[in-house]
Amino acid sequence: MLVFKKNIFRLILCCCGLHFFMTIPVYSQGITYNQHIAPIIQTHCVSCHNPNGVAPFSLMTFTDVSSRAKFIGFVTKTKYMPPFKADNSFQHYKNENILSPEEIQIIQEWVNSGTNEGKRVSKKQQLTILDSHVNKIQNTGILPQQVNISVGMSKSFQITEVGKEEFRFFHIPLQNKDPHYIKSIQFIPGNKKLVHHSRVMIDTTGEIAGIDGLSETDTNIYKYQTKPLADPFLFGWVPGNDQISFPEGTGKLLYPKSDFILNMHYSPSPVETSDSSSIRIQFTDKPVEREVVTLALTESNISNQPFIIKANSTPTFYMRSPLIPEDISLISIMPHMHLLGKSFKAFAVTPAGDLIPLISIPEWDFNWQMTYTFQRYTLVPKGSVIYAEAKYDNTTANERNPNRIPKDVGYGWGTKDEMMNLVIYYVKYKQGDENTVL
């Protein structure tokens, strides 16, 4: 009987697999850029691949795409592009960007059949396609008419030490008289090649202004780090994580008399250059029912201390949150590690023993990190605990190991140091949240 059931199961799998492949149409003839390829590129690529995007080249036109057709065919077939690192069989997200098997096949057949442009569309259709391009790009940034605050560094930072990493703090005064709730926040790197990441914090004491321009290694930094911050993690920018927006009826509080404090990391530069980064804020235009709160788990939450990745080792570290004091609804989640990171997984365990999957990144990519927004509010009941596990590889087998001869690595902000962070935005639970699409 057991063997019979196994055979039936295999038959079902075979039939399902056959049906899966048979549902993908074969376009042996007639695939064109205008009809088949442009919609795929518009949906999955132009948000980064536009003249103002983070990608190194634009894919806005037929010429842009056709000139790189073989390259596009390769990176989409291998699923290197578009970059989306989270395992969507573990959890689904609103901002998933994954090509379907059909889309990958269509690109392959277009590339192999000669990259035909196809019939030019009418002016009306051209406007529709242009609107699609523009909307896709605009969706990656706050529209000009929606910006309530746009502020930047008081002066350009001059990067004069060639070939050296820089960790700097900057002070951006706001001094707003009234409290506001933030709907969206966007960080604009002034030097896209060198700004590696930035952490945006809020100070309301007015006593940290002197930190502006100071290096992390400056001993004067310590007197400012003793001041309590109103928000120690308003937003974290890394390539792939340009903006965060909060659901309707919620917002992140911008306190009166707020100043932004930026913790900036610059990659080594081969030449003297400069940076002038900025922040754009959009306020809520409707009453806020619930305030967005940040839950940040850091190295201090690691249970198997000390947090040291020994040379020639592949350790796993575990962290846990304190007991969740009330029912909460998670909006988004963002893990963070450096170059020795190999995988990251987080989940919650309820008082009843149920497991709530939050995120799994089987192959960590230091160069592409993002905030993953859940498709719906994810309920974590009172008394639950959030757990995370992160695996590291400090051996020569890790091609990204910054030390050719591995050495012990501990906590630090430098790229050659390591971190284990988990940042979650949430609101207090309201009945029906688990059915609310974000």
Cβ burial of 175 (10 Å; 0-12, 13-18, 19+) is exposed
Which residues, listed in sequence order, are joined to residue 357 by a DSSP beta bridge? 347
Q: Tell me how crowded residue 235 is: count the other CB atoms within 10 A of its CB.
A: 27
> Are 283 and 210 found together in one domain?
yes
Mean pLDDT (the chain) is 86
pLDDT band, very low/low/confident/very high, at 21 (cuts 50, 70, 90): very low
Closest alpha carbon to 153 in 137, 168, 139 = 168
Q: What is the pLDDT of residue 225?
A: 79
Domain count, the chain: 3
pLDDT, position 135: 46
In the chain the first and final C-alpha atoms are separated, in Å, by 46
Query: Quick one: pLDDT at residue 120?
Result: 73
Same domain? For 385 and 361 the reply is: yes
Q: 241 and 187 in one domain?
A: yes
d(CA 103, CA 62): 17
Q: 291: which 2 tokens? A: 């305030």
Tokens 């040379």 sit at which residue?
Answer: 311
Distance CA 146, CA 285 (A): 10
Q: How high is the pLDDT of residue 125?
A: 54
Q: Which of 403, 397, 393, 408 is nearest to 311 (CA)?
A: 408
Contact call for residues 299 and 420 (beta carbons, < 8 A) = yes
Task: Please report, for residues 95, 216, 386, the alpha-carbon distance to residue 345 in angstroms, rounded to integers and kept in the order given.
Answer: 18, 30, 11
Q: Are residues 333 and 225 in the same domain?
A: no
The SS3 of residue 359 is strand
Judgement on whether residues 402 and 270 belong to the same structural domain of the protein? no
The pLDDT confidence band at residue 226, using thresholds 50, 70 and 90, is confident
The one-letter code for the residue type at 399 is E
pLDDT tens per residue across span 331-388: 999 999 999 999 999 999 999 999 999 999 999 998 888 899 999 999 999 999 999 9
d(Cα 373, Cα 350) in Å, to the nearest integer? 21
Name the burial class of residue 70, with classes exposed (0-12), middle (13-18) and buried (19+) by CB atoms within 10 angstroms of its CB: exposed
Residues 438 and 318 in one domain: yes
- What range defines the domain where residue 313 resides? 292-438
- With H, G, I as helix, E, B as strand and everything else as coil, classify residue 57: coil
Q: What is the pLDDT of residues 155-194, one digit of tens each?
A: 999 988 888 888 899 999 987 889 999 999 999 999 988 8
Asked if the structure places residue 21 within a domain, the reply is: no
Return the minimum-mean-pLDDT range out of 27-36, 92-101, 297-306, 410-419: 27-36
Amino acid at 239: P
Same domain, 309 and 277: no
180: CATH: 2.60.120
Among candidate residues 289, 313, 335, the one where a domain is terminated? 289
Token representation of residue 270: 């081969």
Contact 331, 438 (CB under 8 A): yes
The last residue of one of the domains, among 268, 289, 310, is 289
* Residue where a domain terminates, one of 256, 289, 322: 289
Q: Which two tokens stand for residue 163?
A: 């070939």
Stronger pLDDT, 16 or 267, i.e. the higher one: 267
pLDDT of residue 384: 98
C-beta separation of 198 from 226 below 8 A: no
Which amino acid is residue 158, in one-letter code?
A: Q
Cα 141 to Cα 186: distance, rounded to the nearest angstrom = 7
Q: Kindly tell me if the per-residue pLDDT of 7 is higher than 60.
A: no
Residue count (the chain)? 438
Q: State yes or no: pLDDT of 222 exceeds 70.
A: yes
